Every structure is written in structure tokens, then in C-alpha cells.
Structure 1
Amino acid sequence: MVAPQFHHLAGRVWICPGDPDPEAVQAGVAVVVDKRGSVMIDAGQSPAHAREIQVALAAAGLPQPRWLVYTHHHWDHVWGACAWPGVEIVGHEAAVPLLRAEAARPWSHHYLDEQVRANPRLGPSFRARARAVDSWEDFAVLPPTRTFTDADELPVGVGLRHVGGRHAPDSTVVLVPDSGVMVLGDCFYPPPAHLRRPEDGLDLGLVRRLLHDDYHWYVSSHAEPMTAEQARSAVEDA
């Protein structure tokens, strides 16, 4: 696996792709740079991944964040949060009970093995978690400390909009209008693998409803960024 690296996308937005190996279940992250305080979008899949992201930030000459935004509550987007000191964690209100329930679980390699034996459909996700976390000693699942219902805007001109969807009830898109960038997270993806039915697919209709002339880049967590032209082409029949 290649060490994470940040690449400039547009305006104030830099992106750091995740591991392209689907078995790794590693989401990419983004940062919106601002001298008043930068915004990190998603936390990394584990404390180790978060620390690699921090090294990549420093290597690119980018500041450490003041805010950490969750696009949604799934583990590969939030499990690195406990390794981000001094940030305000921002997410949709629906994430709070979900992550409090996750925080109460007795996470360990033994527990992960037990869960997979009880429900083999959890195997891909839980085996990836076991590979991602080498030590549970200082691990914690952290709910957001700043929440919103429909929309929010951080003091640095970064907007948050709840869109929900089948992938996660708290799915949020992050809007950076001065850079022409919309970060989609996983909002249009099908449900997680252990909940997915054969007929479930990408919700391209959701993406079509999000398209706007002010945005030139659409960034999802597990794929290359799409230009506006690519996004419109992908959803034209949705």
C-alpha cells in the first residue's frame, strides 16, 4: 500500500484518496484549507490511518484542522477521530445515537471474530476493521459534538447539507462553493454489504438532484473525483 498523499483539487480543497483495494474498506478524506481554521472531511478508518493522514498533511504543507466533519457514521469514515486532537467534530444529529451505540460495543479482535462467526455477512467489514486497528488500548468511537438537522455552515464558508439515502440515514454532503467542490461521501452508494439486497444499486437519482451549475467537482469517498460533465453523464438516464 502506498502512503497517503494529498493532491490539490480546486480552490481551497485538497483530497487524499483511500486504499483502492476494496478489501481494505478505506475511505478517502478531504481538507478545506483556511487560515481561520481548516476543515477535515472524514477522520480516516482507524487511528493508524488518521496518523498517516496527519503526516501527509504536514508533507503537503497543509495546516492541522480545527473542524472534523463526518459525511456519515460508518466505521471507515469515523474510527480515526480519536487520533485527531483538539478538533470540533461535526455531524448530522442522527449520527449521535448510532455512534453512541457503536462506542458501547466491546471492540477487540476477539469480539470481531465472534461477530463474524455469528453473522458471516459481516466478514468483509469486520475483517477489514481487524486489519486496520493494531491496538485497541486508546481506541474510542466518538459521536459528533456539533450537530445539525437539515443544514449548517461553518464559519469558514463550508456548508453541510443532510441528504440521507439508503447507504446511511445521516449522510451529509459538504459544500465548498467558492472552490466549486461538493463532497458526496457515500450518500449515493447502496446499503452496506451485510444489509444489501441483490436489487440494491447506486442511487444516481440522488446525485442528479444534487447537481448544480455552481459546482465543477463531485467527490465521493471510494472513487476518483468526477467533473461536472462526468457526473451529468453518469446520471443522465437516472
Structure 2
Amino acid sequence: MGRKAMKGQTLLSEALNQLAENIWILPRDKHPNKVQPNVGIICTSTQTVLVDCGNSPYHAQRLLAALKHLNAPPISQIIYTHHHWDHIFGASTFGVPVIAHELCQQLLTQHIQQRGGLAALKTQIQQNEPGTHHEVWDHFQIILPDITFSHQLTLPLDGLTLELEHVGGVHAADSIVVRVKESHVMFIGDCYYPPPGYLQSSNKKTSWSMLSSFLDEKAIDVYVDGHSDPLKKSDLLKRWGIKFLASL
């Protein structure tokens, strides 16, 4: 299900958090200098689908170790919630097809073609995110999506139905959400966040209206964003309701 651990590194089996019968996450790193988002894991009897795939090859190897401990079936595909490095730079570890919004493919292609290529991009990441200075980048490459869509895409998955929808937003124009209605779980990535700090945007506001639209979905009970703990709808209504009122 992936390459062996990289030389000089010991991979520990990290605890996965189970959200529903078929769904787990490799939880985010809460350290302020570690930009390691949640990775969604959707398992059936025959295959595993990842929602995002780690911020580096090493993060991806840790995910593989956790999946091995879970006895998860082989990874069949990866879904990118958006193009930002911390969500997709683990993809080269897995060697499976990637699904994303069509704009994601365009933005990643631009990154690859920019002057300096991967070396410049890695330097920029390390300057802005000090927690990545010691990551190992051997064999790394940006993996472009194999399958893209413009608005919505439905993926039947051994009795589950994955609904992918483009929602955009100021954080990343290519942001999508992933609904697993049978499991009542929705992966929302970073779509409602302000722009990332390194863009130095004057827009620092959270998109509460986008969050409000998600909370109206009756089939969803658990929401998973990129950099927070998963929360049930009742908890989100309390937390985000207060923040929304405070923002008016």
C-alpha cells in the first residue's frame, strides 16, 4: 500500500479517530508550528479512499503505518479538497488516482511551471511554515489530479455514496466538500477559512454564511474541516452560532 519507511526514520502507528462505521481520520497535529491537517479515511470491505493525503511524504508514511495497523483495504483513490500543499503533498507516496476540482489541476500546474519549480515551492513552504524544516523530500513530486469535475461528482463506493461538490471560497477557489450521507459525515476542508496567511490578504474573515448553509443539511451529523477537531452538528450550532452573531 506504499513504500517502506524512509531511511533514518521510525514510523509509529498513530491512533486513528473513528467517526462512523466506515470513516476514520488521521487527526491534525495541534502544535502551532505543525501544519498537518486532518486526513479523511473512508473504508469499505474492498478499498480505502482518502480525503486529502498529508502535507509531506513523511506525513503520508505515518498514515500508511496507521492504516496497516487498522488492517484497512488497499487505497484506491485520493480526493483533494483543494490545492494547498499541506493537504496534497503526501500524494506521491501512494501511487493511486487523484480526484479534484478542475481548477485544482490548473493551479497545481501553474505551481509546477513557475520559475524554480519544486525547489522554489519547497523553500517558500519552509520559510512560511517553520515546522516543516526537517521534513524529508526524497522522491517527492506534485501529483496532478487524474479525474476532475466542474460542479458535482458522485462516486458509488461499495454501498456508500460519496458526493463531491465545488463550493469555492476565499481560502481557495478550488475548494470542494465531500459528503458521505450513509455515514452522516461531511468533509469540508478549509473552504470557509480566510485566505492563508502567506498570501497576506486583507480579508481575515471566516465565511459564516458558508458554514450556515452546511448546517442546514439534514443528512449530515458530523463535520470535519482541515484544522479543527470534528464536531457534531449540535456542537457546531452552539459554537458557530455565537461566533456568527459576534461577527454581525
Q: TM-score scaled by structure 1?
A: 0.87
Shift of 1:233: 2.0
Tell me the residue number matched to 1:225.
230
User: Per the alignment, do residues 98 and 203 of structure 1 end up closer, same or farther by CA in structure 2, a change over 3 Å counting?
Assistant: same
Tell me the secondary structure at the aligned position of residue 118 of structure 2: coil
Please tell me whether the aligned partners of residues 4 and 18 of structure 1 are also in contact (alpha carbons under 8 angstroms): no
CA contact (8 A) 1:217 1:225 kept: yes
Q: CA deviation at 1:81?
A: 0.3
CA contact (8 A) 1:216 1:228 kept: yes
Structure 1 partner of 2:145: 144
Cα displacement string for residues 153-190 of structure 1 (whole angstroms, at most 9, x for unaligned residues): 11211111111001101111110000000011111111
Aligned pair count reads 227
Hey, what does 1:154 align to over in structure 2?
155
Of residues 175-184 and 155-164 in structure 1, the stretch that sits farther from structure 2 once superposed is: 155-164
Cα distance per residue 1:124-171 (max 9 Å; x no partner): 23x444433x234x1100111100111101121111111100110111
Letter in 1 for 2:239: A
User: What is the rounded CA distance, in whole Å, between the counterparts of 1:111 and 1:179 in structure 2?
Assistant: 37
Q: Distance in 2 between matches of 1:183 and 1:80?
A: 18
Q: Which runs of 4+ in 1 moved over 4 A?
A: 110-113
Q: Classify the secondary structure of the residue corresponding to 1:51.
A: helix
Aligned residue in 2 for 1:131: 134
Instruction: Please provide the CA RMSD for this pair.
Output: 2.2
1:153–1:6 CA distance, 2 compared to 1 (3 A): same
Which of 88, 105, 115 does residue 96 from structure 1 map onto?
Answer: 105
Alignment partner, residue 25 of structure 1 = 35
Q: CA deviation at 1:103?
A: 2.6
Q: Secondary structure at the match of 2:33?
A: helix
What's 1:72 paired with?
82
CA contact (8 A) 1:69 1:91 kept: yes
Give me the whole-angstrom Cα distance separating, in 1, the residues matched to 2:112 and 2:53. 16
Structure 2 unmatched runs, 5+: 1-11
- Is the aligned partner of 1:235 residue 2:240? yes
Which of these residues, 205, 210, 216, is aligned with residue 214 of structure 2? 210
Q: Could you report, residue by residue, the CA deviation over 1:6-47 in whole angstroms, capped at 9, with x for unpaired residues?
A: 121113111111211121111110111112422111011011
Deviation readout 1:57-113 (Å, 9 max, x if unpaired): 11122223111000100000110000012x2100000001111122334333x8755
Tell me, in whole angstroms, the C-alpha distance in 1 between the residues paired with 2:85 and 2:121: 15
C-alpha displacement at 1:3, in angstroms?
Answer: 5.7
Q: Take 1:73 and 1:129, find their aligned partners in 2: how far apart are those partners?
A: 18
* 1:95–1:199 CA distance, 2 compared to 1 (3 A): closer
Give the 3 Å change call, closer, same or farther, for CA 60–111 of structure 1 in structure 2.
closer
Show structure 1 runs of 5+ residues with no match. 117-121
Q: Which amino acid aligns with 2:108?
A: L
